[in-house]
Structure formats: structure tokens, C-alpha cells
Structure 1
Amino acid sequence: MTERLYYTSDVLECTAQVRRCDQQSEGHYAIVLDKTIFHPQGGGQPADKGWIAGMPVETVLQQGDDVVHILAQPLAANAVRLEVDALCRALHARLHSAGHLIGYAGEQYGWRPVKAHHWPGEGRITFAAGENSREPEIQWLDEFIEGWRSAALPRHIAFEDGRRKVRFDDLPAYDCGGTHVASLAELGSVVIGSVKMKKGQLIVSYTVQ
């Protein structure tokens, strides 16, 4: 099992031990470490970018309890230095945090978030209708989001029954394994591009600036 340091820490550099290195194909090696600061692709969020032992990480995947790092060259079973691309991590964290705020805002109008896609240029939250739900206008969602953002609400992480919970101040906690800003002061602007209905679901498209 890979220890996921990004669950509890925002550090972008660390040292880890190579546990396994398997060749997948020509020029592609799957590296498993005892611990990692790299968020793998999953949970609606793309993989972190960065370097291991000075080599670019091509992608990061989940395989059972392990996090697998794909590199173009093999690594020996030694201690190696990990470095996450700070700009990439910041963008992913902002997008994921903005997605949570859109989820909270949609709930104010009777909608329940059921699916999220926090990728750059493709951000969207899908909601299922709840009791007495009504379709919100973009400016209504903006007002809630801007209020929370301007209050610079802090992030809180907790673990309950083996599940990781993420919330901002006293807003509801969502089950989530992703990365987030430490405070909404770091969020920047959330820009909602569209709000539309499709097959009884509400879909909100967004980005951050």
C-alpha cells in the first residue's frame, strides 16, 4: 500500500523509497513507492505533474491500494527525490475546490451533486434533482460562491470510518480524495460558463481565473 501524503499535507517535495519497478512497454516503467505526494488521476481530478529522481513523471495512476508513477526510464530500489509541479498542483487544487463550492451553491436550490469533472478547460458539476429543486441562474450561484470566497474560509480535512472528508469552515463535508486550496483566499475567481438541464439533471460548467 502506498502512503498518500497528499491526503494530509500540501508539501511538494519529499524523499521516498522505490518498492517496485515494472516495465510496461518500451520506454514506459511503472514505479511504486512506499509513499507519494503525487495525486493520481481519479475522483474527477487529473494526475499531478512533476519529477522523480529528476525524471519527468508521465502520468500517475491508481492500482488497488498502490499509486503507480509512469516514467520513461527504470529506477533502482533506492531512495529517490519527488517534486510535484507547483503550478499544476495549484490549478488542480483551485479547480477541485471551486467544484465543491458549486456543489454547495447548487444544494441551496434543492440540487444534489452526483458527478464532478475538475479538469482544466472541462470543469463541470452534475446534479440530480432533490425535493422542490429549481433551476438557478448563474448570478445566483455566483453570489453564494463569492460570499464564501471573500470570507477566505479555511479548509479542514478529517477521516471518518476510513473515508476522507473535506470541508471549508462550517460548510458541509464531502467525501473526497482530491487536492484543495488551504484557504479560499487562494481560490481566485470562479467563472461559471453555463447552467443547463439535460435528461432531468442540472449541469454547471465552470473554470477558474
Structure 2
Amino acid sequence: REVVHIVLNETVFHPQGGGQPSDKGTIGGIQVDKVTLDRSTGVVTHTGIKVDDSSSLPSPGDMIGLKVDACLRRKLSECHTAGHVVDAAMAKCGLCLPPTKGYHFLDGPYVEYRGTIVSSERADVLEKLSRTFTILLEENIPTKIEMMSKIEADRTCNRLAQNFDFSDHPEETVRIVTVANFPCPCGGTHVRSTGELKESRWGIKGIKCKRGVVRIKYDQL
């Protein structure tokens, strides 16, 4: 099969980034398996294979139809949103540790924070976090997405702890996603409310601490 790379003037595909894998779908007769963003140029590249040998490849200036795999997009949006609920549960439990990494892939998602939780307290923390996570889903809190100035974003996202640095952000505005009343900078896709995660049975699965990093694992239970 011929591998094809396509650049469009605009796209509905979400590229991989921010801990979230890219969308998949089709562009004409091309099965798109990966979408990447070059942050230095802003160019989004769609990579896939030509599955319809009878059709020709698009030429510059052509109009072409795009179709995102809606089922996969939904699962990835749920997974990413659940990661934000982990952040909110951590904050509500008084664990305002700086986040360092979010892995919102479907093969074992987790969120990592800088710090530690002493071993004798981990079981209690896990139980409290799990209970708080469940309560946040039951409250069916709407997701809110806003564009803010860097000053406003700093004031909004760092009200509990100085966890986010906006000084190096290349643009004057920042996309802020608020999930379960916890705001943070994010470019990913999300579901409309925390209640939608309850229907899909998302929850916290475990805690792992190693070398100054706390990893909170979550998944569909």
C-alpha cells in the first residue's frame, strides 16, 4: 500500500499532542492513521495509506472530504477528560503537586506529578482520591473551554499552587479547559460534562511513587 502525507489549509482532525493520540479517519480514498503538528510552522500533516486504488490522489487546490472516526474520537475525549478529573480530585484532596505529564492513551492512561506520597499513606490517599473522583462524576459538572490572556490564565490556573508557567507561551492567548471546576491549559478534545464519564465507568486504578514522581493511574473500571 502506498503511504501518503497530506497537508490541508484546514482540518477537523486532532493531531497528536498534549498526551493525547491523534484522530484517525479518512480523507477521500486515504485511510488516515496518524496526524502530527509541527509546532514551529503550525503545519498539520495527515499520514495514511491509499485504500482505493481506483481514485487519484488529491492535487493542490482540490476540495476534499474529511471523515473522523467518531467512535475513537469519543473514547479519546473521555480518556483525556478523565485525566483532568484526576487533577481536580488531587486538588480537592489537598494534593496540589505540580503536574509533569499526562498520558491519555487508551493502553493504560495516567497523570504524573512532581513530589511523593509516603508509602504508609498511599492506601488511604488512593481510597480518598477514588471516592473524590467518583463524586466529581456524579456531580455532572459541565466542561468549559475559554481563550484567556496569559495574565488571566496565570491568575486562573495558579490560584491553588504555582503549577503552570505561561511566560514561554508563544501566543498572547491561551486555551484554558476547565473540567470538574479545575482549570488548566490544554489543546485536547473533551466530553461535555463529568457525568458522561460516569456512564462509561471511568475511575482511578492505582498510585505509584518513584524518584520524586507520583503517578496516578486511571481507566475504565
Alpha-carbon shift at residue 122 of structure 1 (Å): 2.1
How far apart in 1 are the matches of 2:89 and 2:11? 33
Report which structure shows greater RCO (CA 8 Å, sep ≥6): 2
What amino acid does structure 2 have at the position aligned with 1:166? V
Alpha-carbon shift at residue 137 of structure 1 (Å): 2.5
1:106 to 87, 90, 100: 90
Matched, 1:174 2:184: yes
The SS at the match of 1:37 is coil
Other-structure match for 1:42: 17
What amino acid does structure 2 have at the position aligned with 1:81? G
Indicate if the aligned counterparts of 2:23 and 2:33 stay in contact, CA closer than 8 A.
no
Matched, 1:129 2:104: no
Other-structure match for 1:81: 65
The SS at the match of 2:35 is strand
Alpha-carbon shift at residue 112 of structure 1 (Å): 2.6
Which one is further off, 68-77 or 112-121? 68-77
Indicate if the aligned counterparts of 1:48 and 1:60 stay in contact, CA closer than 8 A.
yes
> Unaligned regions of 5+ residues in structure 1, if any?
1-25
How far apart in 2 are the matches of 1:89 and 1:197? 31
Indicate if the aligned counterparts of 2:88 and 2:179 stay in contact, CA closer than 8 A.
no
**Post-superposition, which runs of at least 4 consecutive aligned residues in structure 1 deviate over 3 A?**
none
Matched, 1:143 2:135: no
How far apart in 1 are the matches of 2:13 and 2:4? 16
Matches within 5 A, 1:150-189: 150-161=138-149, 162-168=173-179, 171-187=181-197, 188-189=200-201
TM-score (norm 2): 0.75
2:48 to 41, 48, 71: 71
Instruction: Determine which structure has the larger strand proportion and give its number.
Output: 1
Deviations 1:138-171 (A, max 9, x none): 22111211111111111111112321110036x1
TM-score (norm 1): 0.79
Computed over aligned residues only, the root mean square deviation of the Cα atoms, in angstroms, reads 1.9
> Unaligned regions of 5+ residues in structure 2, if any?
51-56, 150-172
What amino acid does structure 2 have at the position aligned with 1:101? V
Instruction: Determine which structure has the larger helix proportion and give its number.
Output: 2
Shift of the 160–198 alpha-carbon distance from structure 1 to 2, 3 Å rule, reads same
Other-structure match for 2:81: 97
CA radius of gyration, larger in: 2
Other-structure match for 2:30: 55
